[in-house]
Amino acid sequence: MPQPMFTTTGDMLVAVDFTPRPPRTPGPYRRLFTHPGTRAFTVGNLLARLPMGMFSVSAVVMIVAARDSYALAGAVTATGLAATALVAPWTARLVDRYGQARVAVPATLLAALGSLALVLCVHRGAPAWTLFVAYAATATTPNIGGMSRARWAHLLKGDDKALHTANSFEQAADELCFMLGPVLAVLLCSALAPQAGTLVGVGLLVTGMLVFTAQRSTEPPVSRALDRGRAPLRAPGIRPLLVICLAMGAVFGSMEVVTIAYADAQGHPAAAGVVLALQAAGSCAAGLLYGAWKPAGPAEHRYPWCVAAMTALMALPLLAASLTGSLLALAGALLLAGMATAPTMVTGMTLVQERTPEGRINEGMTLAVTGLLGGIAAGSAIGGWMSEHASAPAGFGVPVTAAAVALMISLVGAVRR
């Protein structure tokens, strides 16, 4: 055992203790990455996930620059969204059946070819219908977030606290990528060329997916339960969660469109991106804090409370826009409103994981994402109609209403259980 040594300081004798201190306990997020292979697949996951926030914005900028038609650009991206909602669950089912690496790589390459075909068609002035076909081909893009969550569920099986932290990290990554993706896309398209955002996005997607799937040691094994188990859509408790995801998507889609319309009405259309980024930043920060703090009780008991908090905070943008008419006040309200998003999404995705049959977690997670995409499309349409035919401040009532619908469904589900 090391003994203290003595040294002199002036006329005083001072004891210096050289006893080694015990190492500090790593935090919850550091403990996640002590598992071999987790850092590498997370790097690939983030590289492949960033383009998810780039492609639609890049396509709009590119098509408008070449064809001078926002209507055409919006119709093309909406077609791609609808195609993704139809194709993504089938892609996820193949991933569960044959493994991530065997399915995700060819599916990603096919989606990349669709994006490259879109660039070529726009550049060559091809007929408008070719743009729809090319962008629809990108629907084979695998749900990288679902595959990453499936890996965490496999690695952390039986450790609910660590899995909660991992799900919170994934949700924060979602918010970060969807916050940075559009900004990067606009920067590339404006600084280099209208096609630059799509081309860089393709490069990131393919590179990230190859890095991600190369980590075979962390890939969940293919389960034989897939053939004999029930489909996720028929599993008990899944359908109400998917309806809630649809309502949540309507919250996000309407909030984005209404915020853009409000900023344009205030004479500051360029500020809409910054204001929406604050909402994503609030959600990202809240997600990381929620992951570091493991709340007590099962997820199904916490979920209605999370949705209730989200519904209450979504009223803040409506009040800020209606009472103050200030874009700065709206920015602060969106920052606060965003703080309820990640905890609600983390808890909801945890429930989806718990209720999805064994061996079909990618399909279950993709169904949830499909519900979100459908809600985003519907919310964007309703929010745009309200902003145009009523007023931009009135449009903020759409996300509040959608959140209230989600709350009622979650409460009815809690009562039935």
The pLDDT of residue 87 is 85
The pLDDT of residue 245 is 87
Domain boundary, last residue among 222, 238, 259: 222
Q: In this predicted model, what pLDDT tens digit does every residue of 40-98 receive, in sequence order?
A: 888 888 898 888 878 877 887 788 788 777 667 777 877 887 788 788 888 888 887 88
Q: Name the domain count of the chain.
A: 2
Q: Within this chain, do residues 407 and 283 fall inside the same structural domain, yes or no?
A: yes
Provide the whole-model pTM. 0.72
Q: Within this chain, do residues 316 and 405 fall inside the same structural domain, yes or no?
A: yes
Choose among 253, 251, 230, 240: nearest CA to 363. 230
Q: Say how far apart CA 338 and CA 100 lie, in whole Å.
A: 32
Least confident range from 8-22, 173-187, 322-336, 354-368: namely: 8-22
User: Could you give the 3-state DSSP secondary structure of residue 15?
Assistant: strand
Choose among 340, 51, 320, 305: nearest CA to 201. 51
The pLDDT of residue 202 is 92
Asked, for residue 148, whether it belongs to a domain, the answer is: yes
Domain interval for residue 49: 38-222
Q: In this predicted model, what pLDDT tens digit does every residue of 372-381 receive, in sequence order?
A: 877 877 787 7
The pLDDT of residue 11 is 55
Give me the percent of the chain exceeding a pLDDT of 70: 86
Q: Within this chain, do residues 214 and 250 fall inside the same structural domain, yes or no?
A: no
Higher pLDDT, 395 or 417: 395
- Cβ partners under 8 Å of residue 225, min gap 6: 357, 358, 359, 360
Query: Does residue 413 have a pLDDT over 70?
Result: no
What is the pLDDT averaged over residues 203-229?
79
Query: Does residue 240 have a pLDDT over 70?
Result: yes
Most confident of 199-203, 239-243, 372-376: 199-203
Q: Within this chain, do residues 281 and 334 fall inside the same structural domain, yes or no?
A: yes
Q: Say how far apart CA 95 and CA 107 lie, in whole Å.
A: 10
Q: Within this chain, do residues 170 and 233 fall inside the same structural domain, yes or no?
A: no
Asked, for residue 32, whether it belongs to a domain, the answer is: no
- CB-based contact 185:197 (threshold 8 Å): yes
Asked, for residue 270, whether it belongs to a domain, the answer is: yes
Q: Within this chain, do residues 328 and 247 fall inside the same structural domain, yes or no?
A: yes
Q: Within this chain, do residues 385 and 358 fall inside the same structural domain, yes or no?
A: yes
Q: Within this chain, do residues 215 and 343 fall inside the same structural domain, yes or no?
A: no
Q: Within this chain, do residues 161 and 131 fall inside the same structural domain, yes or no?
A: yes
Q: In this predicted model, what pLDDT tens digit does every residue of 84-130 receive, in sequence order?
A: 878 888 888 888 788 888 888 999 999 999 999 999 988 888 888 88
Asked, for residue 383, whether it belongs to a domain, the answer is: yes
The pLDDT of residue 312 is 92
Give the sign of the dihedral formed by CA 388, CA 390, CA 392, CA 397: negative
Domain boundary, last residue among 164, 196, 222: 222
The pLDDT of residue 210 is 92
The pLDDT of residue 20 is 56
- CB-based contact 60:73 (threshold 8 Å): yes
The pLDDT of residue 70 is 63
CB environment 389-404: b (16+ within 10 A), e (fewer): eebbbebbbbbbbbbb
Query: Does residue 278 have a pLDDT over 60?
Result: yes
User: Could you give the 3-state DSSP secondary structure of residue 5?
Assistant: strand
Confidence of residue 401 (pLDDT cuts 50, 70, 90): very high
Query: Does residue 232 have a pLDDT over 70?
Result: no
The pLDDT of residue 106 is 92
Strands (E), 131-262: none
State the average pLDDT for the chain.
Answer: 80
Q: Say how far apart CA 177 and CA 88 lie, in whole Å.
A: 20
Q: Within this chain, do residues 273 and 384 fall inside the same structural domain, yes or no?
A: yes
Q: Within this chain, do residues 395 and 262 fall inside the same structural domain, yes or no?
A: yes
Q: Cα separations (Å) of 265 from 45, 210, 381, 389, 396?
A: 38, 44, 18, 13, 14
Domain boundary, last residue among 205, 222, 239: 222
Q: Say how far apart CA 253 and CA 344 lie, in whole Å.
A: 16
Asked, for residue 13, whether it belongs to a domain, the answer is: no
Q: Within this chain, do residues 139 and 251 fall inside the same structural domain, yes or no?
A: no
Higher pLDDT, 37 or 107: 107
132: CATH: 1.20.1250.20
Query: Does residue 9 have a pLDDT over 70?
Result: no
What torsion do the CA atoms of 55, 141, 120, 73 make, to the nearest 10 degrees?
A: -40
